[in-house]
Amino acid sequence: MSEEKALRYNEGKVPYSFLLDLPNATAELCRIFQNGAKKYDLDNWKKGFSTRELLNSALRHQMDFAKGDILDKEGDTHTLVHAAWNLLVAVELNYFNTYGTAWKDEDDPGKNPHKLC
């Protein structure tokens, strides 16, 4: 058998393995998606939210954490991961416009592309 390694062209590709360094946070994030699918229906979030709504929700969860509430009101997931979920969804919907739902409601980029609140 040859000592030569097989070729791989990974230069410039996203190293997703960094997520493996965050197993607990990643599991919590997936649990939030799972709970949301049960509570609101699978992929309900893809229908979109206003940026303001997502930022307010993220801040509310951060304030809950600052007040000492580690777990959300349902008691099974970390409040900071809820904040992260809201921010990640805001990025996905607004920056990448993955599902064509960016800038819902009052967030009109034609009037003010930086209007968030």
Label each residue of the chain as H, E or C: CCCCCCCCCCCCCCCHHHHHHCHHHHHHHHHHHHHHHHHHCCCHHHHCCCHHHHHHHHHHHHHHHHCCCCECCCCCCEHHHHHHHHHHHHHHHHHCCCCCCCCCCCCCCCCCCCCCC
- pTM for the full model? 0.79
pLDDT tens-digit readout, 68-103:
999 999 889 999 999 999 999 998 888 777 776 655
pLDDT at 115: 53
